[in-house]
Amino acid sequence: MLTKRIIPCLDIKDGRTVKGINFIDLRDAGDPVELAAAYADKGADELVFLDISATEERRKTLADMVCHVAEKINIPFTVGGGISSVEDVDMLLKNGADKVSINSSAVKNPGLINELVAKFGSQCVVVAIDAKEIDGQWKVHLVGGKVPTDIDLFEWAKEVEERGAGEILFTSMNNDGTKNGFANKALAQLSDSLTIPIIASGGAGTMAHFADTFMIGKADAALAASVFHFNEIEISDLKKELNNQGIPMRL
């Protein structure tokens, strides 16, 4: 069995790491470069950086930050936020990113997935999907969760896979920041219907939540932010505990 991955997520706003609840009420969580270096030292399998307020004016700042992080870490990291073209991806990869995450731009222009896969390969392209369960239906949301759509999570995920994306990063907006556990039912449905890896995001609060998302949600990787940023869970301890439960980890 492939090892499962633990991935800290750094949400970046104005050059700082922030964390909110249900995508709002953001609070400062520290310097992204320092946090990245610390997570690499503590045994994180990968890092995800999301510029949650990306605009064209900030693109240079993000590229510079990627470069600084790449110098400090020796694990793969994914960068997302405002990416909408081959040129954007090219710049980030040249600055040291290993993968890119696209979200709203993929929904608005699904052909972008095909374009990026053709140019850089599937392994480089992660499609992030923010979705909210409303009256029993999971609907995709855009622009950092601010813009609802009528797009069904599972139909969109299937199209993403068919267009060649290498991974899906699914964030449950209902669970995000609540520390009540991941959206395991939806995750298991995604996992059963797709062949590409699924990264679970939104809701981590305890070590048991990570175990549940691997065993019940069938996730390939689990991403979290505040429990790591505020030292509520140590990554090395988490991975040992999961390994003891029979969930394969890179120790």
Q: Which residues are catalytic?
A: 11, 130
Phi, psi angles (nearest 5°) of residue 46: -155, 170
- Report the amino acid identity of residue 235: I
Buried b vs exposed e over 99-112: b needs ≥16 C-beta within 10 Å?
bbbbbbbbbeeeeb
Three-state SS for 147? strand
What's the Cα-to-Cα distance from 149 to each of 52, 137, 170, 214, rounded to whole Å? 19, 12, 16, 29
Alpha-carbon gap, residue 84 to 77, rounded angstroms: 19
C-beta of residue 106 within 8 angstroms of C-beta of residue 92: no
Burial of 57 (0-12, 13-18, 19+ CB in 10 A): exposed
Q: Is 17 left (phi over 0), alpha (psi -120 to 50) or beta?
A: beta
C-beta of residue 202 within 8 angstroms of C-beta of residue 176: yes
The contacts of residue 99 (CB under 8 Å, 6+ apart) are: 76, 77, 78, 79, 123, 124, 125, 126, 166, 167
Residue appearing with tokens 């222009």:
109
